[in-house]
Each structure stands twice: as C-alpha cells, then as structure tokens.
Amino acid sequence: MSAKASRRRSPKEIFWCKRAEHYDKLYWVRDKSYLDAIIERGDFRKGQVVLDVGVGTGTVAKKIKPHVKHVIGLDISDSMLSRSNWEGISLVKWDVCQRLFDKNVFDRIVARMVFHHILDDLDGALKRCFDMLKPGGKIIIAEGLPPSDDPGVVKWYEGMFALKEERRTFTERELYERVAKAGFRNIAVCRHIMHGFSVRNWLANSGLPKEAQHKIMDMHMNAGDDVKGAYGMRIVGGDCLINTRNVIVIGEK
C-alpha cells in the first residue's frame, strides 16, 4: 500500500490491514475444538439464513455454510474481506453499529471475537443484531476472557493486551448482562478452554512491531505464579503454551 493510500484509510482500517496479512496463520482462528463448539451451540439447520458479524477471513462462516441455507458475512474491513475466497457466501462491507438490514431477517447471527473491538457503541451493535433476528432466532457470541477472575490476573491481562490493541476486557457477567439488555432471553453461557494456545504463533502473526511482540512474550515468560497457574502455562522450546478461557453466549429473540 502506498503512503498516499494509507493516509486515506481510517485508523481502524490501518489496524485491520496490518492484522489481515497473516491472520489465517493464527492457530486459534482454525482451532477445531473452538469451531466445533460454535457449531454445536449454534443449533444450525438447513433452512436457516445466517449473518456472520465481523466475518473477517471467513473461517467461522465457511464452517457454518454446509449446515444452513445461506451465510452472509458482514465486516468493516476491506483488508480482512479481501483475504479469502468467498464462493457461496454473500458479503457486506459495513459497520455493525449502523443500521442496514430490516428487522426480522436472520435465523442466526454469529460473532466470534468481534465485540471486544467495539469500543463506542456496543449496546447499539447488540440492539442492531437483536432487531435483525427473526423472532425465535438466536445470537451466538464467542469471546475470550482473562484466564481467571482474580483481580491481579485480570490486571495483568489488561496490561498485556494494552501493548497489543485498544479493546474491551469482558467478564461472563458483563456479556450476559449486555445480551439481556439488548432484549435477548433464554441466555446460555458456555465455557470453552482452548488448550496449548501458542503465544509465539499469536505474536508472530499479530501484525505488531517486533518490539511489542518481544515485550508481550517477556510479560508471559516473567508472569507471576498466579498468571502462570491460571493459564496452566508451559514453556516449551522458547514458546509459551497456555490454556485460554473462552465463552460462547447464546441468546434468543
């Protein structure tokens, strides 16, 4: 990208442009157990039309596609959308915080690792999702959590992520409450632990400058026993392997 083209891009697009290049090399993106858990919890069926909010490079959308009638991917970033082959999936470049579709359109809305990036109007985005679902339709939100609720561990986690990006740190309770506030009922919160997450792979494909990558790796290597214990951290061949805590929240309209 030329310097002139880069100047025309929004800060969000520049951020996603840096991440897009190596995004599909991230082990967690393709982690089978995480994808299988989303399919299992999503209760997908043949006649359904599904919106994947923050579809990114389409890993989740492609996994859902054989189970349903049609998947539409929505994403704010051209750089992420341009990284994939979208055969059989429709795309919309759009910000989920802005109204686009009519009410009562979709049977399912999925959003994996998206809402922690929405800093300004998360409640508005969730309300948009509620409106777009048909009555009886479900939202399936997958997000990462700190490895424990211990305040010292949460503080470490927030400090570590501050070196990477501006983002929200969710708790299970906050996600539940926000989903309820948007109008969803019968809310289920399912935990999912991803075992052996490679911090080295995550940093190498993060789009971060090397200096930030080294600082974050050092933070892991030198973390206290509380953090290491919460993550079940193992140091293997210069890499940190951790067990990350994720949550899948399902709400019904």
Ligand X SMILES: C[S@@+](CC[C@H](N)C(=O)[O-])C[C@H]1O[C@@H](n2cnc3c(N)ncnc32)[C@H](O)[C@@H]1O
Q: Which residues bind ligand X (CB under 6 A)?
A: 16, 29, 54-56, 59-60, 74-77, 80, 95-97, 112-114, 117-118
Q: Which residue is nearest to ligand X (CB)?
A: 56
3-state secondary structure of 94: coil
Distances in Å between the alpha carbon of 45 and those of 34, 39, 67, 195? 19, 10, 6, 29
Q: How far is the CB of 218 from ligand X (least distance, A)?
A: 24
Among 202, 228, 227, smallest CA distance to 213 is for: 202
Q: How far is the CB of 237 from ligand X (least distance, A)?
A: 27
- Which CB sits closer to ligand X, 112 or 228? 112
- Which CB sits closer to ligand X, 118 or 227? 118
Q: How far is the CB of 216 from ligand X (least distance, A)?
A: 16
Q: How far is the CB of 185 from ligand X (least distance, A)?
A: 25
Q: How far is the CB of 77 from ligand X (least distance, A)?
A: 3
CB 139 within 8 A of CB 179: yes
Q: How far apart are CA 137 and CA 37, in angstroms?
A: 19
b vs e for 31-50, b when ≥16 Cβ sit within 10 Å of the residue's Cβ?
Answer: beebbebbbebbebeeebbb
- Which CB sits closer to ligand X, 124 or 196? 124
- Which CB sits closer to ligand X, 18 or 117? 117
Q: 224 φ, ψ to 5°? A: -75, 170
Q: 68 φ, ψ to 5°? A: -135, 180
Helix axes 172-181, 122-132, angle to 10 degrees: 50
Among 170, 168, 111, smallest CA distance to 141 is for: 111
Q: How far is the CB of 88 from ligand X (least distance, A)?
A: 17
Q: How far apart are CA 62 and CA 57, in angstroms?
A: 9
- Residue in the block written with tokens 């994720």: 246
Q: What tokens appear for 117 in the block? A: 């990036």
Q: How far is the CB of 84 from ligand X (least distance, A)?
A: 10
- Which CB sits closer to ligand X, 206 or 213? 206
- Which CB sits closer to ligand X, 60 or 208? 60
- Which CB sits closer to ligand X, 223 or 247? 247
